[in-house]
Amino acid sequence: MAEFTMELNDEQKEVRDWLHGFAAEVIRPAAAEWDEREETPWPIIQEAAKIGIYSLDFYAQQFFDPTGLGIPMATEEIFWGDAGIGLSIMGTGLAAVGVLANGTEEQIGTWIPQMYGDVNDVKVAAFCSSEPDAGSDVAAMRTRAVYDEAKDEWVLNGTKTWATNGGIANVHVVVAVVDPELGSKGHASFIVPPNTAGLSQGQKFKKHGIRASHTAEVVLEDVRVPGHCLLGGKDKLDERLARARERAKSGGERVKNAAMATFEASRPAVGAMAVGTARAAYEEALEYAKTRTQFGRPIIDNQGVAFQLADMRTRIDAARLLVWRASWMASTGKKFESAEGSMSKLYASEVAKKVTAQAVQILGGNGFTREYPVERMHRDAAIYTIFEGTSEIQRLVIARTLSGMPIR
């Protein structure tokens, strides 16, 4: 088991510097354009694929880093470049985590490569969980999956919303209800292969931030997928449902549902996204404060500005440490006994909102214009306290974990 460390090794530092170079030279210069266009930045994804950043191999190397720091380190650097483009590059990873968390080795080997495509034909993937009436309340999910035993097929019907890459993805991972009586414990995840009949894109959302990332509804109308597209397989699902029914009768410990298994694994990565955005805004504000003069001196000479920058940097470093701890725990198989994954996501996302707002304030009127990137960073940061579990839900998870009580 890898010991927890705050020091990156030489290989990790080399990867970090390589990613930082790509973020500075390719992502940053294109960020404002793709934010205005509100379109998927396919040329940037293509460039990332050409040098090996957008690939299954790179993702696997970081995911299986024994220290657990590969994914958060890589994510922070890419999101330092830009959150919208960063999510376009990293968004496929959420679907990949869904397969890794719930799938068999054969499913992992079959479907994850198809999520990325190749250098000459890049693809993206989508994880579809939220619904118009079921976001934080996963028990309210209505998308149904019914097994057709005669054909060994699952039939999916429903509407998903807020799906990153929804409708444009090569592979969709869809969470659906298989046993309504079990609530959130009666869910399962399914692969919807490319060009499957009945799946279509619904509304594409025009967003406040992360505009370069495609977000849309996914409509499923009598979508038929083969039995082998049930992640984990039917035998495993039947066993899990049987345990859930037995525990429901006895009032025993509940089992985790398919969507929550994915979110638990990805929350520290979302924290790393937030850290990257916060760090970018802090650095912009620091440089501005050192060069902007008022009353004959740089504004950083004023305690009101300097103390804000001190607090910003302190919060960013604290957020990164929480993210790294949770990532190390997940990688080494340590249980989140105090909801450490939720802690990292909660704190980092709140820090991103706070720090980007402070950056806008330090830049004053300039910070309120699109001529300076902190305006975009402030808009982007708003999403971190919302997606993959709002800050309120994270606090609920933490409080329930600490108290052992069904707090509502």
- Find the mean pLDDT for residues 6-26: 96
In angstroms, the CA 408 to CA 207 distance is 30
CA distance between the termini of the chain: 37
pLDDT mean over 60-76: 94
Is the per-residue pLDDT at 139 higher than 90?
A: no
Please give, one letter per residue, the 3-state secondary structure of the chain. Answer: CCCCCCCCCHHHHHHHHHHHHHHHHHHHHHHHHHHHHCCCCHHHHHHHHHCCCCCHHHHHHHHCCCCCCHHHHHHHHHHHHCHHHHHHHHCHHHHHHHHHHHCCHHHHHHHHHHHHEECCEECCEEEECCECCECCCHHHCCCEEEEECCCCEEEEEEEEEEEECCCCCCEEEEEEECCHHHHHHHEEEEEECCCCCCEEEEEECCCCCCCCCCEEEEEEEEEEEEHHHECCCHHHHHHHHHHHHHHHHHCCCCCCCHHHHHHHHHHHHHHHHHHHHHHHHHHHHHHHHHHCEECCEEHHHCHHHHHHHHHHHHHHHHHHHHHHHHHHHHHCCCCCCCCHHHHHHHHHHHHHHHHHHHHHHHHHHHHHCCCCCHHHHHHHHHHHHCCCCCHHHHHHHHHHHHHCCCCC
User: Does position 262 have pLDDT exceeding 60, yes or no?
Assistant: no
Instruction: Please report which confidence band the pLDDT of residue 258 belongs to, taking 50, 70 and 90 as the band edges.
Output: low
Q: Give pLDDT, residue 257.
A: 57
Which position has the higher pLDDT, 249 or 244? Answer: 244
The token pair at 67 is: 């220290």
Report the distance separating Cα 54 and Cα 90, nearest Å.
Answer: 8
**Residue 34 pLDDT > 80:** yes
Give how far Cα 298 sits from Cα of 150, 307, 374, Å: 76, 14, 19
Phi-psi region of 389 (alpha: psi -120 to 50; beta: other; left: phi over 0): left
Chain centroid to CA 66: 21
Across the chain, mean pLDDT equals: 94
Q: Is the pLDDT of residue 223 over 80?
A: yes
56-63 and 70-81 helices cross at what angle (nearest 10)?
A: 130
What is the pLDDT, as a whole number, of residue 300?
Answer: 98
Strands 297-298 and 293-294: what pairing? antiparallel
For residues 69 and 269, give the distance between their C-alpha atoms in angstroms, rounded to a whole number: 10
Nearest by Cα to 31 from 403, 375, 389, 400:
375
Q: From residue 112, how far is each of 86, 104, 280 by CA, in Å?
A: 19, 12, 31
pLDDT in tens, 100-109: 889 999 999 9
Categorize the per-residue pLDDT at 117 as very low, low, confident or very high, splitting at 50, 70 and 90. Answer: very high
Least confident of 91-95, 146-150, 306-310: 91-95
Catalytic positions are 388
| Mean pLDDT, residues 337-361 | 97
- The residue with greater pLDDT, 300 or 406, is 300
- The predicted structure's pLDDT at residue 125: 98
**Mean pLDDT within 114-139:** 91
Q: What is the pLDDT of residue 391?
A: 97
pLDDT of residue 325: 96
Is 404 a residue whose pLDDT tops 60? yes
CB 290 within 8 A of CB 34: no
pLDDT in tens, 276-293: 999 999 999 999 999 999
Which of 125-139, 168-182, 262-276 shows the highest mean pLDDT?
A: 168-182
201 within 8 A of 166, measured Cβ to Cβ:
yes
The total of other beta-carbon atoms located within 10 Å of residue 294's CB is: 11
How far is it, in rounded angstroms, from Cα 259 to Cα 236?
16
Angle between helices 303-331 and 340-363 (to 10 degrees): 160
Instruction: Say which residue, 185 or 349, is predicted with more confidence.
Output: 349
Tell whether the model's pLDDT for residue 253 goes beyond 60.
Answer: no
Give the pLDDT band (50/70/90) at residue 314.
Answer: very high
Residue-level pLDDT at 6: 81
- Digit-coded pLDDT (tens) for 173-206: 999 999 999 988 999 999 999 999 999 999 999 9
Over the stretch 81-97, which tens digit does the pLDDT of each residue have?
Answer: 999 999 999 999 999 98
Residue 259 has pLDDT above 80, yes or no: no
